[in-house]
Amino acid sequence: MTINTTETIIKFANVTKEYKLYKNDRERLLGLILPKFIKYKRKVVLDDISFSVKKGDSLAIIGRNGAGKTTLLKLIAGVTKPTRGRVEVNGTVAALLELTAGFDPEFTGRENIFLKCYLMGLTDAQIKERLDAIIEFSELGEYIDQPVRTYSSGMKARLGFAVSVSVEPEILVIDEALSVGDAAFSKKSRRKIEELRDQGTTILFVSHSASAIKQFCNTCLFLEKGKIAFYGSVEEGLELYSSKLK
Please give the pLDDT value at position 121: 80
Can you tell me the distance from the alpha carbon of 167 to that of 137, in angstroms, rounded to the nearest whole number? 13
Q: Mean pLDDT across the stretch 113-125? A: 87
Side-chain-side CA neighbours of 176 within 13 Å: the count stands at 8
Gap between the Cα atoms of 163 and 167, Å rounded: 7
**pLDDT for 2:** 38
How many Å apart are CA 40 and CA 19, to the nearest integer?
Answer: 10
**Better-scored residue on pLDDT, 223 or 183:** 223
**pLDDT mean over 28-39:** 78
**Helix H or strand E segment including 50:** strand 41-54
Among the listed residues 84, 116, 87, 107, the one whose alpha carbon sits nearest the alpha carbon of residue 16: 84
pLDDT at 193: 87
User: Residue ranges of the alpha helices (H) in 52-182?
Assistant: 69-77, 109-119, 124-138, 153-164
Q: Identify any residues that bridge with 228 across adjacent strands, giving them in sequence order.
A: 223
The amino acid that residue 8 corresponds to is T
44 band by pLDDT with thresholds 50, 70 and 90: very high
**Position 151 confidence tier, pLDDT thresholds 50, 70, 90:** very high
Q: Nearest CA to 49 among 79, 66, 71?
A: 71
- How far apart are the C-alpha atoms of 160 and 96, rounded to whole Å? 8
Q: Find the mean pLDDT for residues 173-196.
A: 77
Dihedral in degrees, nearest 10, Cα atoms 24, 27, 32, 36: -130
Q: How confident is the model at residue 180 (pLDDT cuts 50, 70, 90)?
A: low
Q: Which comes out higher in pLDDT, residue 71 or 164?
A: 71
- Per domain, the residue ranges of the chain are 55-82+91-245
- Domain 55-82+91-245 class, CATH top level: alpha beta
**d(C-alpha 72, C-alpha 21), whole Å:** 19
